[in-house]
Amino acid sequence: MGQFKTDQLVDRLEAIAKARQATLARFRARPALDDPAVLARQAARQAIVQAREVRINERDIARLAGEAEREAEALAAKERAAAELVR
């Protein structure tokens, strides 16, 4: 009976060792940070971030311009109403 339990322990330890080796092999297989493919992906991500920032800024500018236009129209309407009352 003791041999049966020992075999299970050995099997578990071997499985753990194999998993550890597989993880290490995956880590070693990763491309280095100076790899051209990695650099290209980083550049693409940076371009996406910059484009997103530009779109956000454009939306903010359009929103502020719309608000300013609405305020100007409201002010002009008030002035016209005041001019109508004066007549």
pLDDT digits (tens, 9 = 90+) for 4-60: 666 788 899 999 999 999 999 998 888 888 889 999 999 999 999 999 999 999 999
CA angle at 55 for the pair 41 and 64, rounded to the nearest 5°: 160
What are the DSSP E strand ranges found in the chain?
none
| Number of structural domains in the chain | 2
Indicate yes or no: pTM above 0.85: no
64 with 76, same domain: the answer is: yes
Contact, 38 vs 31, CB < 8 A?
yes
Q: Which range of residues forms the domain containing residue 59?
A: 33-87
49 with 81, same domain: the answer is: yes
24 with 51, same domain: the answer is: no
40 with 73, same domain: the answer is: yes
Of 57, 55, 75, which is closest to residue 67 (Cα–Cα)? 75
Contact, 72 vs 78, CB < 8 A?
no
CA angle at 85 for the pair 73 and 80, rounded to the nearest 5°: 15
Higher pLDDT pick, 29 / 63: 63
17 with 39, same domain: the answer is: no
23 with 40, same domain: the answer is: no
42 with 21, same domain: the answer is: no
